[in-house]
Structure 1
């Protein structure tokens, strides 16, 4: 990635183990000129694929004359996110966007050359952008753990052995890791900051940790952001009073951002107390790669400013705290990934033309998962249908978009226009969460 930056190229990360169909979609939509991989499937199927060893042996970059100074508006990277039409959306982020992110966050959070930050997230997840470039920009150390060091006791040992000072976590990851971290709290003397991002942060997962590790010793920062706004858009340092709230505020927007809260009548205003959030600023991308229709639907200009419709519903509380309370559409936030259920449904429907289905997020035993609700009538073997759907998901969807549970029902509820009603069918998921269905 550093080499690509050096030659003025952009990188397009793909999660390891992604289904071949997904990789080919990204490859075609991005217009990539080279696929660098150690996956034999891609080397065989992509005409411009090459392994790192092949590049080294070919001595592709021979002299410094091959280096090109990049411009501010050149694309630094493209991350593909879930798309409601069944195809992923490419979000191009420029060097200017990335530089604006670092400048804005560094105005609130100090990192230095003595910091040690682990790379815990896939490069296809934009949290990694912050992990990588923030610490390298200040001359600190980027720690790259082995796969077995990402969870549990091995994770905590890695933090201790590497002297990690700044830790980036989604709330779900921290919930899984905090027991082992708390058990070794005395050995985590170097850890001074935990940064949360990627999903709503609930106070309940912080209470036990803070009781053992006071905020004066290790501060906790909650950051809100979206791929389209270059990772982080807001900053909030958690204080003791926040633990009495249900959800931790997302805080103030970073320097360079302007926000609007849109009313139900379509009016935009900063003074409204609740509504869909729209953001403008130098971190906001220009739109989706080679997709004018989706760009026009999600972005608009007001004067000389370009606003992005985040789709997040925010609420301004009486004490001035800004909290994300929901969505204006069906998008799901899961473990840091923003997922369009319609994309999953579009892919799964290809495997079964005789069944109707919907995808939801459900919380089962304190764990958020994707659940596929599928209708199977008396003439269909529900186990066979579910097995077919699961197999199809494994072949055509990345891991973070695969339903963990399939729930068979006799029929999906419809509205007066005979169309499947997503809100009505939510009742099945609520019953599942309450333990009434299996």
Structure 2
């Protein structure tokens, strides 16, 4: 039988005490033929004698079998089966179509209007918290709802208001205050006990509530298959008591989640039944035992490999003693052994002391990625100071603010890049520091794992960056938690790809050097050229690669085009959410047994990483959002806006505790108190991340984006990442971004969602928009889709929304091919090379380009440069480095550069 057939039927089971007159039952059923159902004159009463009593376990199984068997599409609208037991009693099982309602005197099966139920094809509302298995779709699970004694407010009138109210309150907590309005909808139910529930199937955020009056011994099913993802069916009895059952589609609701949801409805109903003031904020969803169990799910015991006072430079010294001659660092033409790196860092530390930098001070670092950068960071730690990394590509105002906010008096900078002058701050080069230090290393202080190791500045909601103070013990704990699982050791080769001002670099540098590996420092220009970076991965035989998903998408493209074999055995994703579907072409070329892909969720305030999940081809097919369980020593929980613990499956704010929680925000005590809080459940300090997620029954975490990525457009709450993921599911979309804009600033009535896509192949923006319309409800379809050659990224590899151009007024059409001899660029028809290059620039920038135009002034960015240079190579034009492009970013100069290269 089809699922739609099951949803079109309902059933009633009535216990009939003996002796039983089957003829009388048959006549009473056939009497309905005098009403609107003449077909029932042909009704047959099926009988079956069973060899056991009515209370035997097999009796219940046989009753369920008959009650849940739907009617055929054709045939009578009612089936009646009498099951006779050996003790003389019987069960009468009636299965009818929904439109059939028998007379009240004949047990009254039927139902009122169902409201917003599922359609016949099974589509309709879904439960975000259900964690159902798609393979189980179409099969029904059933969980009892054990209700308390009758409410103090009365018999049936009390239940009719209390049960929808209890369900609505539970759903409100499951939605973390978003799905159901706690302050309005629930209070509406509680305001008047009489008449709050008018009968029929009441749909509440994907869960139906059906309340029916019945006699003892009757068992009703509103539908043989749930009309919504889940239906709570309550029966009210003459003595004022009630019972309930939760029936759910296994594709929508996992059994363990269904069991918990049913118990929560019963628990909340019991609390509301006690009467009194019924303060909703005092109602507890989870009992003490379940609270303890959920908290325990999010805890992974730490891996203990040493004392609590270990430091980063102390662990490095241990590696130096074990592997003094092993290569620690490769940077261009420079190669340093562990002993050489240690010696240079010791002289750097001595130089800082010579400058009068006291232990515990903050030391600024503004260096490009090279050998001196790593030497300097290690030297600062050896001087018992904390490093404050700054990216030289940041605006001068941000650099000044960082120095002043951190109280930095010494900045280690390079010769080629002038650091902005800040009063009271001395800028010194790495070479000058080592010269000041001479050959003497400073006397180390006693190891203190609680001392700050670094301060990294992250974006702040006020527009000012905020400094996160991270102690040594956190970095040591991160290595303890991952070393064994990732099999990190002396045979590994890592890359330092990311800016030292991005905390991913903490993992890259110390993850490598504290486990004895070789660190390959990637030049700034190589990070901007995917082809060169891929060549470096091959040449250096890199085994451990750390990338943001946006950056790795480019590596996948380069790997797909190349033939050289990579040695990478471990790829760690971080920095932004991973859409696993982008990994399809990677798995087509690389076996998961040869190269492990690990999705790690993390935050600067919790020391780079919090969780780890190994991504498999099965994850790609499921398009899941799993980031795994907590790392050993870290803890996870999901809380609602009031800080209350949420159950498994319910989405809310991710809170992180344990070994990775940073000390504080530098100089921001109020913000520190707001985000770093004492756990009311006794788990120590936890960090409120601002990220949205849900805990799974196995302790794993689903990352669902930022809480602040939710926007509201004309009353609809919209998750921008959801729209972005739909765009990415189009086979020709290689990158996507979504933003909220206003045609009139500050006017919410003109709010609109604008999308940006990078395309491969022959697709156009109109094709992607049509795809979005097929997947998204009308209020989530972007108002515009702007086609870009690539989605711009920040230096940290995240989508750079500030670099997105103004949205296109309409979907970009497929560009028509130019006919022979047609001039595609004004004034360039006499110069074939200039015309070709200007056409390529115009295609990349989606603009008309002249020889006087500057690539970046027309909206170009680093990713567009990479795309353009790749297209040139594919057309057989001379190879140009990214550095040469930046030096010749005016079209006329670039044309001359190519002309000179051709000789």
Q: TM-score, normalised by structure 2?
A: 0.38
Matching residue within 388, 395, 408 for 1:32: 408
Equivalent-residue separation in structure 2 for 1:265 and 1:79 (angstroms):
29
Asked if 1:284 is matched to 2:689, the reply is: no
Q: Where in structure 2 are the equivalents of 1:364-375 lying within 5 Å? A: 366-368=734-736, 373=741
From 558, 578, 582, the equivalent of 1:180 is: 558
1:437 equivalent in structure 2: 808
Please say which of residues 172-181 and 425-434 is displaced more in the overlay: 425-434
**Aligned 8 A contact 2:602 2:610 in 1:** yes
* Contact 2:648–2:696 (CA under 8 A) maintained in structure 1: no
C-alpha distance after superposition, 1:331-370 (max 9, x if no partner): 99xxxxxxxxxxxxxxxxxxxxxxxxxxx99969643568
Hey, what does 1:311 align to over in structure 2?
A: 690
| SS of equivalent to 2:783 | helix
Q: In the superposition, relative to structure 1, how do residues 4 and 316 fare at CA in structure 2: closer, same or farther (>3 Å)?
A: same
> What SS is found at the alignment partner of 1:59?
helix
Mapped partners of 1:55, 1:46: distance in 2: 20
CA distance in 2, matches of 1:184, 1:369: 28
Give SS of 2:638's match: strand
Task: Determine if the alignment matches structure 1 residue 413 to structure 2 residue 413.
Answer: no
Identify the residue that residue 480 of structure 2 maps to in structure 1: 103
Mark the CA change 1:410 to 1:311 in structure 2 (over 3 Å): closer, same or farther. closer
Instruction: Please name the residue that 1:84 is paired with.
Output: 461
Q: CA deviation at 1:183?
A: 3.1
- In 1, Cα distance between equivalents of 2:753 and 2:560: 37
Cα offset, 1:71, TM superposition: 1.0
Q: State how far apart, in whole Å, the 1-side matches of 2:740 and 2:640 are.
A: 32
8 Å CA contact 1:8–1:69 kept in 2: the answer is no
The alpha-carbon distance between structure 1 residues 91 and 61, as it changes in their structure 2 partners (threshold 3 A), is farther
Q: CA offsets, 1:227-271, max 9 Å, x none?
A: 000001101111231111224410111011222211355411453
After superposition, what is the alpha-carbon deviation per residue over 1:269-318, rounded to whole angstroms, capped at 9, x for unaligned? 45353211111101101221111111111111023600100111113457
Question: For 1:263 and 1:34, how far apart are their aligned partners in 2?
Answer: 44
Which residue of structure 2 aligns with residue 22 of structure 1?
A: 398
Q: Cα 1:251–1:171, aligned 2, differ >3 Å: closer, same or farther?
A: same
Q: Highest CA radius of gyration, 1 or 2?
A: 2
Establish whether residue 3 from structure 1 lines up as the match of residue 379 from structure 2: yes
Root-mean-square deviation (CA, aligned residues, Å) is 2.8
> Which among 637, 641, 651 is matched to residue 260 of structure 1?
637
| 2:706 counterpart residue number | 327
1:131 aligns with 2:457: no
Q: Is the 8 A contact 2:468 2:664 kept in 1?
A: yes
Once the two structures are TM-superposed, the CA of residue 56 in structure 1 deviates from its matched residue by 3.9
Tell me the residue number matched to 2:751: 425
Matched, 1:206 2:574: no
Contact 1:43 1:51 in 2 (8 A): no
What TM-score results when the alignment is normalised by the length of structure 1?
Answer: 0.77
1:219 aligns with 2:596: yes
CA contact (8 A) 1:165 1:193 kept: yes
Which ranges of structure 1 fall in alignment gaps of 5 or more residues? 333-359, 375-408, 416-423
1:306/1:270 CA distance change after superposition, 3 Å? farther
1:258 and 1:307 map into 2 onto residues whose CA distance is 9
Which secondary structure state, in structure 2, belongs to the residue aligned with residue 42 of structure 1? coil
What displacement does 1:434 show?
7.0
3-state SS in 2 of match to 1:329: helix
Query: In structure 2, what is the Cα distance between the partners aligned to 1:428 and 1:92?
Result: 37
1:43 and 1:50 in contact (8 A); partners too: no
Q: Is the 8 A contact 1:259 1:278 kept in 2?
A: yes
Aligned length: 368
Q: Distance in 2 between matches of 1:61 and 1:431?
A: 64
Contact 1:30–1:289 at 8 Å: present in 2 too?
A: yes
Q: CA deviation at 1:414?
A: 3.3
Please give the alpha-carbon distance, in whole angstroms, between the structure 2 residues aligned to 1:88 and 1:367.
Answer: 28
**CA distance, structure 2, for counterparts of residue 171 and residue 193 of structure 1:** 14
